[in-house]
């Protein structure tokens, strides 16, 4: 069931979402060649806990019950999502997706951002631009009275205009008292289908876009990678559906 949040619940979510946004801002200076991804994860957890929050991803189980071992999902180059931080150093020219979830006072916030490490090539710049635009256009459709697939269609249309592919096996989601709530939000499909969006629904919209094929596979317990090993980019915001311009709770 899709829940419509009360004003008080949205205010409670606002704090968790603010911590998510600030954590993503705080790690930007670390996105330089030589930084191990585990150091980025440590910085994320340190910041979340300093603000009285809890890293929502740490210990979160996959379908087989294996707990995620870190506070942030850090996905490098062809890793689409759920990359596990480790000692590997970042290299110039890479793109790095960082997904952060926070729980505070019983409510959740969730956002992701892809960073460029130094100067990246034209392909990666266009991939990042396409995904940012797709997210913005999907959010713009999250208005009272629209259908859920209007969001999905807007995302896919922008991605296709660049010649890239959305990942179909992974979706956005509702969010609130749980990290993942109904509805699931695909990043593809025709407009005018699915549930009608209502004011004060809260959604985590997250296009995941591959430079080549949209096909993916899972490596180990968690990391999802592009099947052709071409780079992938991920941006996400937690937003509130409004009768008019949607509100982005995880805006920096």
- Ordered structural domains, the chain, with CATH: 7-248 (3.90.230.10)
- DSSP structural state of residue 81: E
Check: CB of residue 185 under 8 Å from CB of residue 171: yes
**Token code pair at residue 29:** 């200076």
Per-residue pLDDT of the chain (252 residues; tens, 9 = 90+): 899 999 999 999 999 999 999 999 999 999 999 999 999 999 999 999 999 999 999 999 999 999 999 999 999 999 999 999 999 999 999 999 999 999 999 999 999 999 999 999 999 999 999 999 999 999 999 999 999 999 999 999 999 999 999 999 999 999 999 999 999 999 999 999 999 999 999 999 999 999 999 999 999 999 999 999 999 999 999 999 999 999 999 997
Q: Which residues of 202-238 are buried (b: 16+ CB within 10 A; e: fewer)?
A: bbbbbbbbbbbebebeeeeebbbbbeeebbbbbbbbb
**Token code pair at residue 178:** 């749980």
């Amino acid at each position: 069931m899709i829940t419509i949040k009360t004003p008080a619940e949205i205010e409670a979510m606002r704090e968790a979402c603010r911590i998510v946004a600030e954590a993503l801002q705080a790690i930007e200076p670390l996105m330089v060649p030589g930084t191990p991804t585990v150091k980025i994860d440590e910085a994320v957890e340190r910041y979340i806990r300093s603000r009285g929050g809890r890293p929502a991803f740490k210990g979160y189980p996959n379908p087989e019950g294996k707990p995620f071992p870190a506070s942030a999902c850090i996905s490098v180059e062809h890793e689409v999502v759920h990359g596990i931080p480790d000692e590997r150093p970042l290299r110039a020219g890479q793109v790095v997706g960082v997904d952060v979830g926070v729980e505070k006072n019983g409510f959740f916030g969730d956002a992701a951002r892809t960073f460029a490490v130094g100067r990246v090539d034209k392909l990666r710049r266009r991939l990042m631009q396409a995904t940012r635009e797709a997210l913005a256009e999907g959010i713009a459709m999250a208005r009272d009275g629209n259908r859920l697939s209007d969001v999905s269609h807007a995302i896919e249309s922008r991605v296709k205009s660049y010649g890239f592919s959305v990942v179909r096996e992974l979706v956005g989601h509702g969010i609130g008292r749980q990290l993942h709530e109904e509805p699931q939000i695909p990043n593809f499909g025709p407009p005018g289908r699915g549930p009608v969006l209502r004011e004060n629904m809260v959604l985590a919209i997250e296009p995941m876009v591959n430079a080549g094929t949209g096909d993916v596979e899972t490596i180990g317990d968690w990391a999802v990678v592009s099947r052709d090993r071409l780079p992938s980019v991920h941006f996400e915001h937690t937003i509130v559906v409004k009768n008019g311009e949607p509100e982005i709770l995880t805006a920096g």
